Amino acid sequence: MPTQVEALEQGYRISGTLDRETVVGFWPDRVQALSKAQQDGRVVLDLSDLSRVDSAGLAFLLQLVALLKQNDIRIVFKGIPENLANLAKLSDVDTLLPLQ
């Protein structure tokens, strides 16, 4: 299932898969788009509709956190799927994911 992005009142919802095949097409312009969507220096990203996330998807999310932080924008992840939470914990990066 391809990755889809839906604009919400406060941030975005990502659905589908976030893996090594979809991250490549998803990455361009995402930081710029999320920067424009920020409210009060914060962007909410709803991940509850992600059906699959692999290590490339996790790396993408962590990179997104770092890049937005450089622009003084805080990103918050909402609805983290269990498979993503488990992968982050196994990779010992779970504390780096800002959860709501």
Q: How far apart, in whole angstroms, are the C-alpha atoms of residue 17 and residue 27? A: 13
Q: How far apart, in whole angstroms, are the C-alpha atoms of residue 91 and residue 82? A: 14
Contact, 64 vs 74, CB < 8 A? no
Q: How far apart, in whole angstroms, are the C-alpha atoms of residue 73 and residue 34? A: 9
Note down pLDDT in tens along the chain; length 100 residues. 678 888 887 788 999 999 999 888 777 667 666 666 666 788 889 999 999 999 999 999 998 888 888 888 888 999 999 999 999 999 999 999 887 6
Q: How far apart, in whole angstroms, are the C-alpha atoms of residue 9 and residue 91? A: 32
Range of the domain at 67: 4-96
What secondary structure does DSSP assign to 66-77, as a single string? HHHHHTT-EEEE
Q: How far apart, in whole angstroms, are the C-alpha atoms of residue 21 and residue 57? A: 9
What CATH number is attached to the domain comprising 12?
3.30.750.24
The number of domains in the chain is 1
